[in-house]
Amino acid sequence: MAGNSIDHAFSDGALTGAAGDPTYAGALSFMRRRFTKAVQGTDVAIWGVPFDSAVSNRPGARFGPQALRRASAIFDNDPQYPFHRDLFETMRAVDYGDCRLDYRLPETAHAAIRTEAASLLEKTGFLLTLGGDHSITFPLLQSHVARHGKLSLVQFDAHQDTWPVAAGLDGGMRVDHGSFVKAAVEAELIDPATSIQIGIRTHAPEDCGIEILYGDAVEEMTSAAIAERIYERTRGANVYLTFDIDCLDAAFAPGTGTPVAGGPSSAKMLAVLHHLRKLPIVGADVVEVSPPYDQGDVTAIAGATVAMYLLGILADQHAR
């Protein structure tokens, strides 16, 4: 054991270093990071956005942050594979908890996410979001663009999410989990010419100028070739990376709102992420994990591992 106390998320005073909790016990923050609202000066703040009122099919992603934290307990205190390091040896990371949302007023959620994310980005170096349905990426992009300027979007997904943005009943813009990319393009949050979608296995009315690596192409390409195409497309620009768990085949991620067969394995997409260690990522999220449609935490384990790989990329970049 790396430490001598349980409940590392509350009992340890340091923001760096491995935890000592047994896998089966202890406070379930993400990877046992300290639970705190004090994020000033941290390198990474991890938070959850338990919102799923913008799904078009099966709900349940509001339970995603809880499931991802629970699944992250499987990462013990050895150096994390395949990064050969304690990710938190020098990288100061905390678990901020969840975004405060009013479930009675779902139409206020995006504004609340945008406001709280903007506040966090003033205090921490990087925000890793655990969703939640994919609509939450829109207010997250708004907050990140306010800080970093227009971004390139790297989207792992089975869906393009470029369906038309409709007007809401109150006359405002209605953005759901299938239209947030279209909304982001129209709001000039992302540059389509340097954005790319990986694993797409459905068709939307338009591509908005974003490059698509369809599922059949991903099947034929190596993980290194996929990563190289991402580097070529983004051209060194700052990237927001969003990983919809339904990018994976339903065999590897059954617990999601809109599963699509014929996708890549978790092993292949994790290998792609490992090749992206030099990508200038300024923000990221893992979304659409819906535990009620899973047994054995298969999807949550895949999603938590994606999030761990994103932290691994940051740890490698932090160490350079």
In the chain, which ranges are continuous DSSP H helix?
8-11, 64-72, 109-121, 137-148, 180-186, 215-220, 223-234, 266-275, 298-319
* pLDDT for residue 63: 96
* pLDDT for residue 84: 93
* pLDDT for residue 3: 53
- Average pLDDT (101-129) is 94
- Beta-bridge partner residues of 16: none
* pLDDT band per the 50, 70, 90 thresholds, residue 5: low
**Measured distance CA(301)–CA(319) in Å, rounded:** 26
* pLDDT for residue 253: 97
CATH 3.40.800.10, applies to 8-319: yes
**At residue 200, what is the residue type?**
I
* pLDDT for residue 22: 83
Q: Where are the domains of the chain?
A: 8-319
User: What Å distances lie between residue 255 and 56, 88, 291, CA to CA?
Assistant: 15, 29, 5
157 carries a ligand binding annotation: yes
110 carries a ligand binding annotation: no
* pLDDT for residue 167: 55
**Which of the pair, 205 or 144, is modelled with greater confidence?**
144
Average pLDDT of the chain? 92
* pLDDT for residue 1: 45
Residue-wise pLDDT for 217-258, tens only, equals: 999 999 999 999 999 999 999 999 999 999 999 999 999 999
Instruction: Please check the confidence at residue 171 and state whether its pLDDT lies above 50.
Output: no
- Backbone φ and ψ of 269, nearest 5°: -70, -35
CB 157 within 8 A of CB 244: yes
On the CB side of 2, CA atoms within 13 Å amount to 20
Residue-wise pLDDT for 52-91, tens only, equals: 988 888 899 999 999 999 999 999 777 999 999 999 999 9
* pLDDT for residue 157: 97
The torsion angle over the Cα atoms of residues 298, 304, 305 and 306, rounded to 10 degrees, is: 110
216 carries a ligand binding annotation: no
**Measured distance CA(33)–CA(218) in Å, rounded:** 34
Instruction: Please check the confidence at residue 142 and state whether its pLDDT lies above 70.
Output: yes
Structure tokens at 30: 């993400």
Instruction: Please check the confidence at residue 179 and state whether its pLDDT lies above 50.
Output: yes
User: What Å distances lie between residue 145 and 49, 51, 153, 197, 222, CA to CA?
Assistant: 19, 21, 11, 19, 32
Structure tokens at 69: 């934290």
* pLDDT band per the 50, 70, 90 thresholds, residue 12: confident
Residue-wise pLDDT for 282-295, tens only, equals: 999 999 999 999 98
Structure tokens at 302: 């895949």
* pLDDT for residue 20: 80
Instruction: Please check the confidence at residue 169 and state whether its pLDDT lies above 50.
Output: no
CB 283 within 8 A of CB 262: no
Contact partners, residue 185, CB within 8 Å, separation at least 6 = 162, 192, 208, 209, 210
Percent over 90 (pLDDT), the chain: 78
134 carries a ligand binding annotation: yes
* pLDDT for residue 170: 45
Residue-wise pLDDT for 21-58, tens only, equals: 888 888 899 999 999 999 999 999 999 999 998 888 88
CB 212 within 8 A of CB 197: yes
161 carries a ligand binding annotation: yes
